[in-house]
């Protein structure tokens, strides 16, 4: 019995696939946080689009009176 337990704890078959699975899960979590609804990237991108939209609205509102 002791011999079987010793072999079980020293067996490294499949360790690499488990490591890749853990790495993939961590990467998926990071992507979900960054690209999620409340993520920093999404907020920055939304802010940039709002700034550009406001600038376009200001430029088109002032310049269309003469035409």
Dump pLDDT digits (tens) for 9-36.
787 777 788 889 999 999 999 888 877 7
Contacts by residues 19-25 (CB-CB < 8 Å, ≥ 24 positions apart): none
pLDDT category, 64, cuts 50, 70, 90?
A: low
Average pLDDT, the chain: 83
What local confidence, expressed as pLDDT, does residue 63 receive?
57
> Around Cβ 39, how many Cβ atoms within 10 Å?
14
Q: In the prediction, which pLDDT does 62 show? A: 64
């Amino acid at each position: 019995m002791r011999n079987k337990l010793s072999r079980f704890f020293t067996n490294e078959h499949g360790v690499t696939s488990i490591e890749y699975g853990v790495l993939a899960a961590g990467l998926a979590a990071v992507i979900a946080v960054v690209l999620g609804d409340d993520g920093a990237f999404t907020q920055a991108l939304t802010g940039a689009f709002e700034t550009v939209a406001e600038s376009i609205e200001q430029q088109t509102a002032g310049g269309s009176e003469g035409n």
